Amino acid sequence: MFKPKVDLSRELADKLKVAAQIAGASSMQEFATQILEEGAAKVLASTGKKEASAEEVEDIANRLKGLGYIE
């Protein structure tokens, strides 16, 4: 299975660890996956889209690269 890597600041990782514990998640990764899935579903529902076009995916990837989140 493909597992993309997301770089987080130490501050954000610490916040996620605390929030995961409070929420009762078994790990920070489980918690982060859950909130990312919920966020993505919310955005997709608000736009009425089920998937992004190839151009949109490329644009998003370029933005994330520019911000240093992906290589």
Residue-wise pLDDT for 27-60, tens only, equals 998 888 888 888 888 887 887 777 778 888 788 8
* Confidence (pLDDT) at 19: 93
Q: Which of 46, 18, 47 is nearest to 31 (CA)?
A: 18
Q: What is the mean pLDDT of residues 18-24?
A: 94
Handedness of CA 2, 56, 8, 18 (dihedral sign): negative
For the whole prediction, is pTM greater than 0.85?
A: no
Residue-wise pLDDT for 1-17, tens only, equals 567 788 888 998 999 99
